[in-house]
Structure 1
Amino acid sequence: MAISHKSSKTGFITQSRLSTRKLVMASLLAGLTIILTRYGSIMLAGGTIRLGFGNLPVILSGILLGPIGGALTGIVGDLLGVLVLSQGGFHPGFTLSAALTGFIPGLVVALNHKKKFSFLNIVLANLLVYLVISLGLNTLWLTQLIGKSFFVLLPARGLAQGIVTVITIFLIYFLSKFFKYWEN
């Protein structure tokens, strides 16, 4: 049984369908993001820098399932991840960041859907996530939690997350070769 919602063809929103196949893919990617974020990453600098690839499945979800599917994958991964293994408690800002981590790549691909898996789309999606989420919002949420200045945290986070972003770009580009065949 498929759940569907229809939306207008205006702008970047097109008709989409939330099929069982897409729900299963979103669930698997949410589970993978929990594993990679909570168990497959290391915390540095007193918990202000997380080195890991927990964003990769959420970004992939946005590319494969669109902005709403990506956002939902990020939300589910974050909320269940906090329940499974909380690393510092719950902060709703990080849930917003997780949602946007899936939404932004989905939006980038929706705006250029003819070349869904192009290297440019993948780079642009990851760069926006890096700048808006990793450097911007997540650093802001950390300043609220630990009380250090935004600009004190930014340089080290920028370097660490920049390296992770470059690796993520190439991993997603490599993986996209396999997901090209997974279409509607």
Structure 2
Amino acid sequence: MKKFAGLIISSARELKSVLSLAISSMLTALNVVLGFFTIQPNELLKFTFAFIPLSITGMLYGPVAGGLAGIAGDLLKFFIKPTGPYFIGFTISAFLTGFIYGLFFYKNKITLWRVALAHLTVVIFVQLLLNSVWIAVLYDKAFLALLPARVLKNFIMYPIETGMIYFVSKALEKILERSRITTR
């Protein structure tokens, strides 16, 4: 519990740095832009790559910054190009996604197992459970009727998305090491 509190405090302190805010803002902008290139075959399924900048924000600046970047990205996407009615549940999901990635990645070595576990946590708790509840409420659908298609989509996309987060994170680590740029 002490480590968790320290992680939260350290991540909140990142918000005092102009460099952290600038890079987080650029990653949030990238999240928004990638969100516009979403494939949505119907109101129940969505394929996007906007999770990558959110995971990077969590990796660089922790769960607080990752969560706030999730909120900012979700709100900006809605105000710039709404794809349906605004629903605060999806903003909560965006916060939790950035927060979870920050918990797993911030101040930790990026390993395939860590990425797989972080993304699995996001997939199960945010995408399958919470987002399915939000969709059921918003579109007046039965929760259990939503699950088969959403489970199939996430089962197929999980290894692809995990690999993408891992390879982008490792590439960023190498770039930061070579350039000796400190983000903290």
What TM-score results when the alignment is normalised by the length of structure 2? 0.86
Decide whether aligned partners of structure 1 residues 174 and 146 sit closer, same or farther in structure 2, where only a CA change above 3 A counts: same
Contact residue 130 and residue 162 of structure 1 kept, 8 A: no
- Aligned runs of 1:50-65 on 2, under 5 Å? 50-65=46-61
Aligned residues: 171
Partner of residue 4, structure 1: none
Q: How many Å separate the matches in 2 of 1:103 and 1:52? A: 19
Could you tell me which of 50, 72, 78 is aligned with 1:76?
Answer: 72
Partner of residue 3, structure 1: none
Deviation at 1:114, TM superposition (A): 4.1
Could you tell me which of 31, 40, 43 is aligned with 1:47?
Answer: 43
Q: Which runs of 5+ in 2 are unaligned?
A: none
Aligned Cα root-mean-square deviation (Å): 1.7
Deviation at 1:177, TM superposition (A): 2.1
Partner SS state of residue 76, structure 2 = helix
Partner SS state of residue 149, structure 2 = helix
Paired amino acid for 1:139:
S
What TM-score results when the alignment is normalised by the length of structure 1? 0.86
Q: Which runs of 5+ in 1 are unaligned?
A: 1-8
- The sequence identity of aligned pairs, in percent, is 36
Could you tell me which of 111, 118, 129 is aligned with 2:111?
Answer: 118
Partner of residue 6, structure 1: none
Partner of residue 102, structure 2: 106
**Where has structure 1 moved over 6 Å in runs of 4 or more?**
none
Deviation at 1:105, TM superposition (A): 1.2
Deviation at 1:57, TM superposition (A): 1.5
Bigger relative contact order, structure 1 or 2, given CA contacts below 8 A and separation 6+? 2
Partner SS state of residue 85, structure 2 = coil
Partner of residue 27, structure 1: 25
Partner of residue 136, structure 1: 129
Q: How many Å separate the matches in 1 of 2:86 and 2:14? A: 32
Deviation at 1:158, TM superposition (A): 1.3
**Structure in which a larger fraction of residues adopt helix:** 2
Partner of residue 172, structure 2: 179
Deviation at 1:33, TM superposition (A): 1.4
Paired amino acid for 1:169:
T
Q: How many Å separate the matches in 2 of 1:17 and 1:145? A: 35
